[in-house]
């Protein structure tokens, strides 16, 4: 099935725990992105990668890290989760940066 797969769909996490959100795409898109969606704030870019092997910081990168070892995978890691990281996280990809984005179905994360 072509598209973007995110896992898990939802997660409840204790504060201080480490968590990795997974994102895989099979469209061979060069660019990938992580956004968080919060009520009243819309989508805010956390990190992005224009091509495999490179990453960059978005609008709200603190407390998050990413890696892009290959074209298909773009995991997002919370090293030590805090309650303010409770959000819905969307992974997205595009053929090239700035072009049409394709979104995954999201991960609902609750940090208690």
Partner 1 sequence: GNSVTQMEGPVTLSEEAFLTINCTYTATGYPSLFWYVQYPGEGLQLLLKATKADDKGSNKGFEATYRKETTSFHLEKGSVQVSDSAVYFCALSDRGGATNKLIFGTGTLLAVQP
Cα separation, 47 vs 5, in Å, equals 18
Residues 4-23 that bind partner 1 (CB under 8 A): 4
For partner 1, which is the closer residue by CB, 27 or 43? 43
**Two tokens at 79?**
């090293």
Cα separation, 90 vs 3, in Å, equals 13
Contacts of 54 (CB under 8 A, 6+ apart): 68
Q: What is each CA distance from 38 to 10, 71, 99, 108, in whole angstroms?
A: 15, 28, 23, 11
For partner 1, which is the closer residue by CB, 16 or 59? 59
For partner 1, which is the closer residue by CB, 78 or 90? 90
Residue 98 binding partner 1, by CB under 8 A: yes
Residue 96 binding partner 1, by CB under 8 A: yes
> With contacts defined by CB under 8 A, how many residues of the chain interact with partner 1?
26
For partner 1, which is the closer residue by CB, 64 or 90? 90
Residues 27-86 that bind partner 1 (CB under 8 A): 33, 35, 40-45, 48, 50, 56, 58
């Amino acid at each position: 099935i072509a598209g973007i797969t995110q896992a898990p769909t939802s997660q409840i996490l204790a504060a201080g725990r480490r968590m990795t959100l997974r994102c895989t795409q099979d469209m061979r898109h060069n660019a990938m992105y992580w956004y968080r969606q919060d009520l009243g704030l819309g989508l805010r870019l956390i990190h992005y990668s224009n091509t495999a092997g490179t990453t960059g910081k978005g609008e709200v990168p603190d407390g998050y890290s990413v890696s892009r070892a290959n074209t298909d995978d773009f995991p997002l890691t919370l090293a030590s989760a805090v309650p303010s990281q409770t959000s819905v996280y969307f992974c997205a990809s595009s053929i090239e940066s700035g072009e049409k984005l394709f979104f995954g179905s999201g991960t609902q994360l609750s940090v208690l």
